[in-house]
A = this chain, B = another copy of it.
Amino acid sequence: MRAETRLVGATIVTQDANNTVIADGELSFDASGVITYVGPRRGPVGADDQDLSGHILLPGLVNAHTHSAMTLMRGSCDDSDLATWLGVVQSLEQHITAEDVLIGLRLAMVEMIRTGTTTFADMYHWDSALLAAVVNAGMRVVAAHAVFDFADIGFSTVSPMNGREGLDHTEALAAEFAGEKLVRVRYGPHAPYTSSPEMLTEVARRAEKHGLGVEIHLAESAFEVEQNLKNYGCTPIVHADRAGLFAVPTLVAHVVHPTAEEIEILAQRGAGVSHNPVSNLKLGSGIAPLAALRDGGVLLGLGTDGAASNNDLDLFEEIKTGSLIHRGVAQKPDITAGTDLLRMATATGAAAVGFPEVGVLEPGRWADVIALQTTSSRATPMFSPTAFLSFAARGSDVTDVFIGGQQVLAAGKLTTLDEDSIRAEAAAASARLQQLAEENS
């Protein structure tokens, strides 16, 4: 490997603290995948340089909340009430094997790389083989092995999944992948309605002891908030705070229905929050108070949630939808900016999921970089690159992806994943789940 790789000629949207944008720029990184230079192009394009003129360079996107393997259930139930949706998804999920999870994960990684996502925070079944698959694909993951101790949320054929066994399993995975820069393992207590207060307290205690983070779903639906109040006399985020979860690095998914007090708790404790607008809309969960979370100083990321409730993993769609819906609800077109959401998908999202080494293009950061072509009619005219990225870009504009300096997409070709065979395997696995669900219905 040559000592330095130079990407030259692109417009660089750095997402640094000053939102610096550099025309005809150069981004260089060393053999260890650390950025060494970001600025105007230094001299003519050399034979060894990658000429990315006509492109925009952006930090690799961070998907702050997904369940990758649920790509196998994409499109299985779309126009139904929530109970029907849950029933259909669980009828499929109860038959899922560790092999299926691997196939679904690979399909998700194809889609994420192709649409510019380089890091994903994922809660599902996780094991050594799955984490190795992520490393082999060259992606970056925050993997939370889902645990719960008093509601069956599926996965019945995958183990060890439940209760304290799952926490031990999490710790073993964290130890095994401790030296791997692409992997961080977190505890994944699913939610207060599937995990007992004792479980949440134990997770907090163990997380502190082992120096690990946590991922959890909180305040996703009004029904959840109501049940939590009834069962525990407090709202879900207060409940999690009392269990001690915010004394350790915790990433919270959804936060659609927080109280003002809860927004303050999240901000003061420095918890990360994944805003998942498309999934929240699709499942009828509601619309999170994004402007209040932002103005309250909460550390915000942006997520797709699983493909069964989205139905894709293209974060450019979340950027646009997330910027638009709050304007419509408030009837104020300046309540949320496209640039806010772009930062959530890059700089602040990276911090929120616990990978602060990425998300910004500046020297010293890890080289997670994506290139988008600007040759479509959607990219014409180009008043501003950030306006294009916020409102007109699509994942399909992404041509090149580097993660820690490794090029995993080169001029539209995946270098680490065999897309055709993965698609065929996924279609077969999904058909088998559908067959089993029908036989058991």
Contacts and interface: CB of A to CB of B under 8 A. Distances in A.
A79 B387 CA distance: 9
Interface string A325-339: 101111111110111
Nearest to A277: B328
Given A284-B330, A377-B111, A381-B431, A311 B392 contact: yes
A381 B331 contact: no
A71 B107 CA distance: 35
Contacts of A426: 380-381
A310 interface: yes
Interface residues of A, number: 72
A391 interface: yes
A285 interface: yes
A99 interface: no
Contacts of A396: 394, 396
A41 to B, nearest CB: 21
B111 A378 contact: yes
A329 B329 contact: yes
Given A107-B380, A333-B82, A387-B311, A327 B282 contact: yes
A392 B75 contact: yes
Contact of A328 (B76, B280, B334): B280
Interface in A61-85: 71-72, 74-76, 78-82, 84-85
A127 interface: no
A81 B332 contact: yes
Residue of A71, A311, A317, A382 with most chain B CB atoms under a 10 A cut-off: A311
Contacts of A380: 71, 74, 107, 423, 426-427, 430
Interface of A: 71-72, 74-76, 78-82, 84-85, 107, 110-111, 114, 221-222, 278, 280-287, 310-312, 314, 317, 320-321, 324-325, 327-335, 337-339, 375-378, 380-384, 387-388, 390-392, 394, 396, 419, 422-423, 426-427, 430-431, 434
User: Nearest 4 A-B pairs (CB), nearest first?
Assistant: A284-B333, A381-B430, A79-B337, A281-B328
